[in-house]
């Protein structure tokens, strides 16, 4: 499929979401007229309006009138009123994967995929490139602190993009460099089995352009397996990073808290190595791995002779992507942190980061399960992933696009967690959760809110209540 030329009008259904809003920003930067609709006025909508988009709150067939093409979010139902109206009017309707080739045409694409870590790694790469003087295009599933936006049409030849596996979005890309952070089963509402998901990652890797580079985490079995299947493909390069590799491409050596010592490649054929030490502002061993991936990707993109000190200095100034271990505030010695963690792999990483950053604090994990299908499919792993928390509070499941599944609910999964944890409680409302935290969370403590839904409002209510405004 081919988008109409710049100057045309593109309508985005679900424009307020992280992925769609980033696409909207790139389209605006490329010279398109952008309209869109969303059911709620989310946090990203005002910025899009300021950037020139015309946004409707609510959905109506009239919103697609005048559009030359429509791009639809994966969350929209097949019978969505605006989709139906566009098709009736003969307006082409595209999914994200359909338009990414046009959106990235003429650029060298750095695509970051994986079950966890892709938003942060994508943001790290974009941050490094901007800091050292480049102007990359980018699409990120969170706001980049250095620019304040999640999407940008740059003047440089690099396009850094978070490669989402859901709905096979990443199969619309032809990467020059592909990074795979890890592969662990997720999105059971789209991938019926783990084998189906792995097959999609294999198809993604097969789309790397001739002479391109695959960068995978040697510490993750799924990523290593993908790397092994790619090895030896003509002029293509395959590189590992992490503590485990079959040969010394990237070796993470004795990480302590947020300091990493690594043997960093200085030339694209890895004929010379330099030892580089750098510190991160973001906590957790998973972020050390993300940083190693980012450095490897930047060096692979920019080639021989790059200033490693400049690259690592740039990375040291990275403060994190939006909603990734983001400190919301502090009151009376209780720190509130917002994190997007909703998969067991991400929950473990977020809790380990909290434990390493705040070793003397009690950790209160407030978790909002995300979708019934994920909770059902990952039931056993969820029950065992809260080991680094002192207290666990579970809210009702955030349904997102799904209908309820009988027997799968927040209270039931809490009983499973309680079998492996001394203090796990189910709380039916955000207000009750806030009240409990107000009574029981005493200094020094960290409230880590883990949610891909609307649970961060618990943190805001706690801080407002603590400040006497609620």
CA-nearest of 172, 33, 38 to 98 is: 172
| Residue 51, number of CB atoms within 10 A of its CB | 15
Contact by Cβ (8 Å): 462, 434: yes
DSSP assignments along 172-233, one per residue: G---SEEEE-------TTT-SSHHHHHHHHHHHHTTSPTT-EEEEETTSHHHHHHHHHHTT-
Active-site option among 107, 118, 237, 346: 118
Supply the DSSP symbol for 99.
H
Mark whether 275 is an active-site residue: no
Task: Compute the distance between CA of residue 205 and CA of residue 163 in angstroms, rounded to an integer.
Answer: 11
Mark whether 118 is an active-site residue: yes
Task: Compute the distance between CA of residue 294 and CA of residue 305 in angstroms, rounded to an integer.
Answer: 17
What residues have CB less than 8 Å from 323, skipping those under 6 apart? 142, 338, 339, 340, 456
Task: Compute the distance between CA of residue 272 and CA of residue 266 in angstroms, rounded to an integer.
Answer: 6
Mark whether 162 is an active-site residue: yes
Active-site option among 162, 395, 433, 434: 162
Task: Compute the distance between CA of residue 160 and CA of residue 140 in angstroms, rounded to an integer.
Answer: 8
Task: Compute the distance between CA of residue 173 and CA of residue 391 in angstroms, rounded to an integer.
Answer: 42
| Residue 134, number of CB atoms within 10 A of its CB | 18
What count of residues does the chain have?
470
Task: Compute the distance between CA of residue 22 and CA of residue 44 in angstroms, rounded to an integer.
Answer: 9
Active-site option among 119, 143, 216, 434: 119
Give the torsion through C-alpha atoms of 124, 130, 134, 140, to 10 deg. 50
- Catalytic residue set: 118-119, 162
């Amino acid at each position: 499929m081919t988008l109409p030329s710049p100057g045309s009008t593109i309508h985005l259904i679900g424009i307020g979401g992280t992925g769609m809003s980033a696409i909207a920003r790139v389209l605006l930067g490329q010279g398109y007229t952008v309209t869109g609709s969303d059911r709620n006025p989310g946090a990203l909508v005002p910025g899009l309006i300021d950037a020139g988009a015309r946004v409707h709150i609510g959905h109506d067939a009239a919103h697609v009138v005048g559009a030359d093409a429509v791009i639809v979010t994966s969350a929209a139902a097949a019978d969505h009123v605006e989709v139906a109206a566009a098709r009736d009017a003969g307006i082409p309707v595209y999914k994200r994967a359909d338009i990414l080739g046009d959106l990235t045409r003429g650029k060298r694409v750095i695509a970051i995929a994986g079950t966890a870590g892709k938003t942060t790694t994508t943001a790290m790469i974009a941050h490094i490139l901007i800091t050292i003087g480049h102007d990359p295009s980018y699409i990120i599933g969170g706001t980049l602190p250095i620019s304040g936006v999640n999407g940008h049409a740059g003047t440089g030849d690099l396009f850094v993009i978070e490669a989402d596996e859901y709905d096979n979005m990443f199969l619309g890309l032809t990467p020059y460099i592909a990074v795979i952070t890890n592969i662990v089963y997720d999105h059971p509402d789209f991938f019926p089995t783990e084998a189906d998901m792995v097959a999609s990652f294999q198809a993604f890797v097969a789309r790397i352009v001739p002479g391109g580079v695959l960068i995978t985490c040697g510490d993750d079995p799924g990523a290593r397996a993908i790397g092994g299947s790619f090895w030896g493909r003509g002029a293509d390069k395959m590189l590992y990073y992490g503590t485990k590799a079959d040969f010394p491409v990237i070796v993470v050596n004795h990480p302590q808290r947020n300091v990493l010592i690594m043997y960093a490649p200085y030339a694209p054929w890895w004929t010379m190595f330099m030892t580089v030490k750098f510190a991160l502002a973001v906590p957790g061993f998973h972020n050390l791995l993300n940083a190693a991936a980012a450095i490897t990707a930047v060096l692979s993109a920019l080639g021989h002779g790059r200033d490693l000190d400049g690259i690592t200095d740039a990375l040291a100034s990275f403060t994190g992507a939006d909603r990734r271990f983001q400190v919301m505030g502090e009151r009376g010695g209780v720190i509130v942190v917002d994190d997007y963690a909703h998969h067991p792999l991400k929950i473990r990483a977020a809790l380990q980061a909290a434990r390493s950053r705040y070793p003397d604090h009690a950790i209160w994990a407030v978790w909002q399960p995300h979708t019934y299908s994920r909770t059902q499919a990952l039931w056993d792993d969820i029950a065992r992933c809260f080991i680094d928390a002192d207290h666990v509070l579970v809210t009702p499941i955030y349904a997102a696009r799904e209908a309820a599944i009988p027997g799968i609910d927040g209270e039931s999964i809490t009983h499973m967690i309680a079998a492996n944890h001394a203090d796990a409680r189910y709380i039916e409302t955000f207000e009750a959760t806030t009240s409990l935290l107000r009574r029981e969370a005493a200094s020094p403590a960290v409230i880590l809110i883990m949610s891909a839904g609307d649970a961060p409002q618990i943190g805001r209510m706690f801080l407002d209540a603590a400040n006497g405004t609620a």
